[in-house]
Structure 1
Amino acid sequence: MAKSLGPVKRKFAPWTEPGAVPFIRFENITKRYGDFTAVSNLNLDIYEREFFSLLGPSGCGKTTLMRMLAGFEEPTEGRILLQGKDISGVPPYRRPTNMMFQSYALFPHMTVEKNVAFGLEQDNLPKGEIQTRVEEMLRLVKLEEFAKRKPGQLSGGQRQRVALARSLAKRPKVLLLDEPLGALDRKLREETQFELMDIQHTLGLTFLIVTHDQEEAMTVSDRIAVMDKGVIVQVATPAEIYEAPNCRYVADFIGDINIMEGTVVSASAGRGEAGTVGIDCDGLPVAVEQQQCTAAAGDKVAFAIRPEKVRISLDQPVDTSVNAAYGEVWDIGYLGDFSVFLVKLPDDRIIRAAQANVSRLVDRPITFGDMVWLRWPHDAGLVLAR
């Protein structure tokens, strides 16, 4: 198995195994609505038991892709394979998938247990089996004591769990989640993310979630597909997406980042090889150690570095010839667990530096108007050629 970048949730990475067969395969999928192309010649493999996220801004095509898998839309071109079988033309109710909608779509006049049982009754399952499966699902989502209540008597988080139980009751091979946590407050959303992960691991199902919430995708996913304008820009694990974005779009879309334009002045290795790249970012000398870099001397590139990798200090570093900048603290964002400092350089550029608040400080050592030094290690940033 290939070594993963950053921490992993579990020892599960079938996409790194040469002989692994995809559970879901999108082959050359295009979806047009008149003159508008929502999805363009897209290819994607998803593996069994994977928690996979489609992440991107509104209108990027992620929901359209999910709806085609569910059977609510048909591709204009291409085909979708599930367990090696083409499911094009198969109606939604005959596909081994189930979708949980953002609105939950619960029946307000039915009790919790009746809502969960609804799909099973539609399939004419024996009453005994329905009762057993409903009880199993309510235990799974920890709602046994609320079985006789109606949706209007539940909190938002409880209604979300009822919708999840109903979606899982039919034992689909693939559960599709369309912005499932969007209606929850931040704290409840964070708690529910871990509950979803636990349920997915317990049942061993394949989960496909559509979201525009970067933090949500980073938390729950084994892998993420970042989409833009109907195409997939990068598919990778959360750590790889964050630490090694393959282009400026992904780097800028995921989390907070400083991006500076520059010109390569030196490269200690050939294209695609590991080495140190020297960049002139409009007078700011930068050196970057990178495992794979396609840049060569004279190329126009961007240097990208996350704020938490930039060190801020009142003291001048020993070496200021490279990876160091001097400026004024222009603004401070106090976020509780960490603070973000906006430092204005002499040429009016702003660089963000984040610092963890590891101790309780009454008097902050760095404050507005202070002249500070910023520095970062050679391996902290990235060279982005596109």
Structure 2
Amino acid sequence: MPQTVFAPWENPEEKPLIQFKNVTKRFGTFTAIDNLTQDIYEREFFALLGPSGCGKTTMMRMLAGFEQPTEGQILLAGQDMANVPPNERAVNMMFQSYALFPHLSVWENIAFGLKRMKMSKGEIDTRVHEMLRLTRLERFARRKPHQISGGQRQRVALARSLARAPKLLLLDEPLGALDKKLRQDTQFELMDIQEKTGTTFVIVTHDQEEAMTVASRVAVMDEGKIIQVATPDKIYEEPNSRYVADFIGDVNIIEGTARKVGEDGYDIAWAEGQEPFHAKTNRELSDGQKAYIAIRPEKIAVAAEKPEGAYNSIKGKIVDIAYIGNMSTYHVEIPGGLMIKAQTANTRRLARRGFTWEDEVWLSWTLTAGSVLEE
């Protein structure tokens, strides 16, 4: 049976689990959240992504009940959360700091909230074992927090947050303390746990790779506003602004002026005396309007000779090379001093480099490789 795509936000019949309605949050004269409206659906893994100070943690603290909106409403399952204290919300929050009880064992830390819920001993045993297994902590059940590593303490905090099976779990930079390899493993575990429990996860992170890996949708934030919210592939392939294109992954942004050619094609004049670049877009641009082409480095081909029939090609000189194991990134200077990054996958072991410093090369890309942006 074909698997149905999970996209409740595309279904007008679906009721959101969380609704931010014109929410503003001020701290004195500083506006942390600026008239924000956003729906989040049940079983979503929703990522709030942005630089420090963009408002993502404030959004999360309001959901948890630690902050109240200055204006607007936050609804959880249709209920206004305005006067509901944190301990009465079907919400659990996992903090950046582990906030574990140092005198309790790993097992007791995970069981703590369950005991307060007056669960039977058998139920607590079953639940704690399940959490230990999910977070790969069985061997450490009897140890105290100071006897395990920072990464393991982080997983105890996750297990404890999930043990009570909340309707909504808020994760504030949850994997920040883990090394890269363990972090990647834990991301997949998180997704697995989220799917198994059916809990709605909202994660705050400034790590774009993490957001792109785990999330059903990513909200890219800046200065208290959501600039774009979409699935990870849409955010990457179809950014709605230079800010989003630049924030997610590596990108070349070329400024120019647009002129319409054909139904959805544009010429982008980018340098005096140079052939314009060609691009397709659904956006309506007026002739002579300032526009930008955003092209990901992996979408640019590097060749020694001018490629036949390429829609966009330009000659340049290699100024720098970054060899990153699975790929090489070439920094190529093109006319007018513009620097373009192009990436090639290293599909075979490098007996010798295809290109080296100071080599003249041709860069080329297709009509649809670049996103045309207005701002």
In which range does the TM-score fall when normalised by the shorter chain? Answer: over 0.9
CA contact under 8 A between 2:99 and 2:157: conserved in structure 1?
yes
The one of 361, 365, 369 equivalent to 2:350 is 361
The one of 68, 90, 94 equivalent to 2:84 is 90
CA contact under 8 A between 1:267 and 1:297: conserved in structure 2?
no
Matched, 1:288 2:282: no
CA contact under 8 A between 2:318 and 2:357: conserved in structure 1?
yes
Amino acid at match of 1:289: K
The one of 112, 116, 120 equivalent to 1:118 is 112
Matched, 1:35 2:29: yes
For the residues of structure 1 that align with 2:29 and 2:316, how far apart are their CA atoms? 50
CA contact under 8 A between 1:157 and 1:184: conserved in structure 2?
yes
User: Deviation of residue 20 (structure 1)?
Assistant: 1.1
Per the normalisation by structure 2, the TM-score is 0.96
Matched, 1:255 2:226: no
- Within-5 A mapping of 1:142-161: 142-161=136-155
Amino acid at match of 2:280: E
In structure 2, runs of 5+ residues without a counterpart are none
Amino acid at match of 2:339: I
Partner of 2:258: 264
Matched, 1:139 2:133: yes
The one of 342, 361, 385 equivalent to 2:374 is 385
The one of 301, 304, 323 equivalent to 1:311 is 301
Amino acid at match of 1:231: K
The one of 289, 301, 313 equivalent to 1:299 is 289
Q: Provide the alpha-carbon RMSD of the alignment.
A: 1.5
User: Deviation of residue 284 (structure 1)?
Assistant: 4.5
For the residues of structure 1 that align with 2:116 and 2:17, how far apart are their CA atoms? 27
Q: For this pair of structures, how many residues does the alignment match?
A: 371
Partner of 2:97: 103
Partner of 2:332: 343
Q: Which moved more, 1:137-146 or 1:232-241?
A: 137-146
User: Deviation of residue 319 (structure 1)?
Assistant: 4.4
Partner of 2:216: 222
Q: Which moved more, 1:325-334 or 1:155-164?
A: 155-164
Partner of 1:370: 359
Q: 2:245 aligns to what SS in structure 1?
A: helix
Amino acid at match of 1:96: A
For the residues of structure 2 that align with 1:34 and 1:156, how far apart are their CA atoms? 36
User: Deviation of residue 348 (structure 1)?
Assistant: 1.1
CA contact under 8 A between 1:294 and 1:385: conserved in structure 2?
no
Q: 1:347 aligns to what SS in structure 2?
A: helix
User: Deviation of residue 10 (structure 1)?
Assistant: 7.2
Percent of aligned pairs sharing the same letter: 59
Partner of 1:54: 48
For the residues of structure 2 that align with 1:241 and 1:93, how far apart are their CA atoms? 35
Q: 1:245 aligns to what SS in structure 2?
A: coil
In structure 1, runs of 5+ residues without a counterpart are 1-8, 270-274
User: Deviation of residue 346 (structure 1)?
Assistant: 3.0
C-alpha distance 10-367 of structure 1, shift in aligned 2 (>3 A): farther
For the residues of structure 1 that align with 2:332 and 2:232, how far apart are their CA atoms? 28
For the residues of structure 1 that align with 2:149 and 2:245, how far apart are their CA atoms? 37
CA contact under 8 A between 1:177 and 1:210: conserved in structure 2?
yes
For the residues of structure 2 that align with 1:145 and 1:182, how far apart are their CA atoms? 23
